[in-house]
Structure 1
């Protein structure tokens, strides 16, 4: 039997310092990544397939190895533990910094286990990462060794498949499945394996909404399905849900709202692949706007996001109509980080060259890193 255990906070802060306090960020040694992955696997064994989470929380879509844009998210939206985050998968592949991105998220999950939550996307797969960049990046950054790729892809098998927020919002990476009518069917799955080619688990990470259809249709991706209005209406009705939030699709403006907010897509990789020129977003959910709550009674406590900080934008009915979100929700839209543009101009394909700088500083390195940087104003974009 595997017994869960914790890594000392000082060790986790040291890992965070390596990634945050150096340019370029220092890659962690293979033995450190092995230790981090093993520790997180033991902790994820007891986590259900669908995590029951509460607002306030910020939901992040695909990142795809864009490390500097991940830091931009924390700069504009607040860093853990002051902000709760749910990441919807696709942490690696495509971008130049998949190793650094997933290393940071693993360290953050271990450092702030009740504030940072990770679910699985279709790129958290051995097959996909072999073909779309992560495997090659590991070989380049670790002198031809694939050990780190093995440690991390083994960890991917342990990631949950979804989450509920306030019991009313279902979050997954991709979409719905014709084989699944009830959340309990997802809860009963054996998720500790490679993503299969078909079935509920595959559909959860591969499917997409389509406003042109009502039922299910085979996806042009070659995996998963397209699903229409009748499908999501029935799924929400049968499971007492109000909304589905997912990622998985590039959105030029950073987000897409389907069917008057019944389904939302959040995309968090700006200037995707360093050439698409798109914006990105984080979906901030301050509270669930059900019958039991009003605009003036958010579900927050003194340790969480302060309602007054967000009151004006969340009460703006124009924002809700334009963005197609429910009251209490807001797409925080942002552009690519300056480092993203710099990498593009220099054509970087491989990072990971560590310098011999001396380590300095003490305390909570993650929070202190962002406290020293000026917070950017969110970018509001209206169609």
Structure 2
């Protein structure tokens, strides 16, 4: 995509984010490709144009970032150096990254310890992406990763993929499909129940010393 065209589009996206409207999956994909293009051209040691405003962890706090720009001055009028940790913990990691890519000659972004696949799976960015844009594996991922839960209804799975579902969900599924029992493995059984309650998933496991 032509840089001028992308810049115009990115300005529209920033305005969209200011109105708390989520970016589409295609917009995020384009944003990631542009960020990759910018970052791969940069050296490990970056020269920073002075004067510069140095900023610490943002952690997905999009509105705090906007307030920072309001106080320190907006780019391209002000140079900024961000010291890493743009994602996790906050609820707007995706939106935050989009602003930092807008002015690559005025905003220098360094990599923090949270810019890591393993870390983001623990501290929230991975879950944010799943929540906003779903999983590439779609229904198959839900089938393989979802777990029964003591609580009713649907819930977010602590595994980072799929969902948790209560007995009421199982009963509805069984009724809709003419079934009486759902049998599954992949879960530690503390006490074996040879006759589970109607509609409740029956869990079976063979391995005696298994740890989740």
**Interval of TM-score (by shorter of Structure 1 and Structure 2):** 0.5 to 0.7
1:35 Cα deviation from its structure 2 partner: 1.2
Equivalent of residue 36 in structure 2, options 16, 36, 41: 41
Q: 2:93 and 2:24 mapped to 1: Cα distance?
A: 15
Give the conservation status (yes or no) of the 8 Å contact 1:135–1:146.
no
Equivalent in the alignment of 2:135: 145
Q: Secondary structure at the match of 2:53?
A: strand
Instruction: Please state if 1:121 is matched with 2:112.
Output: yes
Give the conservation status (yes or no) of the 8 Å contact 1:80–1:115.
yes
Equivalent in the alignment of 1:84: 79
Deviations 1:22-66 (CA, angstroms, capped at 9, x unpaired) = 1xx112111111112212322322211111122101011001111
Instruction: Please state if 1:94 is matched with 2:83.
Output: no
Equivalent in the alignment of 2:14: 16
Q: Equivalences for 1:363-378 in 2 at 5 Å?
A: none
Q: Secondary structure at the match of 2:58?
A: coil
Instruction: Please state if 1:72 is matched with 2:75.
Output: no
Q: 2:35 and 2:89 mapped to 1: Cα distance?
A: 25
1:146 Cα deviation from its structure 2 partner: 5.8
Equivalent in the alignment of 2:100: 105
1:104 Cα deviation from its structure 2 partner: 2.5
Evaluate the alpha carbon distance shift between residue 96 and residue 39 of structure 1 in structure 2; reply closer, same or farther with a 3 A threshold.
Answer: closer
Equivalent in the alignment of 1:265: none
Deviations 1:328-369 (CA, angstroms, capped at 9, x unpaired) = xxxxxxxxxxxxxxxxxxxxxxxxxxxxxxxxxxxxxxxxxx
- Where in structure 1 are there 5+ consecutive unaligned residues? 148-383
Aligned residues: 136
The TM-score with structure 2 as length reference comes to 0.59
The structure showing larger relative contact order (alpha-carbon pairs under 8 Å, at least 6 residues apart) is 1
Q: 2:85 and 2:136 mapped to 1: Cα distance?
A: 20
1:133 Cα deviation from its structure 2 partner: 0.6
Q: Secondary structure at the match of 1:52?
A: coil
Q: Secondary structure at the match of 1:53?
A: coil
Q: Secondary structure at the match of 1:124?
A: coil
Q: Secondary structure at the match of 2:47?
A: strand
The TM-score with structure 1 as length reference comes to 0.34
Evaluate the alpha carbon distance shift between residue 146 and residue 85 of structure 1 in structure 2; reply closer, same or farther with a 3 A threshold.
Answer: farther
Deviations 1:101-132 (CA, angstroms, capped at 9, x unpaired) = 223323x2xxx221111110000010000000
Q: Which has the higher helix share?
A: 2
Evaluate the alpha carbon distance shift between residue 139 and residue 120 of structure 1 in structure 2; reply closer, same or farther with a 3 A threshold.
Answer: same
RMSD after superposition = 1.9
1:92 Cα deviation from its structure 2 partner: 0.7
Evaluate the alpha carbon distance shift between residue 93 and residue 146 of structure 1 in structure 2; reply closer, same or farther with a 3 A threshold.
Answer: farther
Structure ID, larger Rg: 2
Q: 1:54 and 1:7 mapped to 2: Cα distance?
A: 23
Q: 1:113 and 1:105 mapped to 2: Cα distance?
A: 7
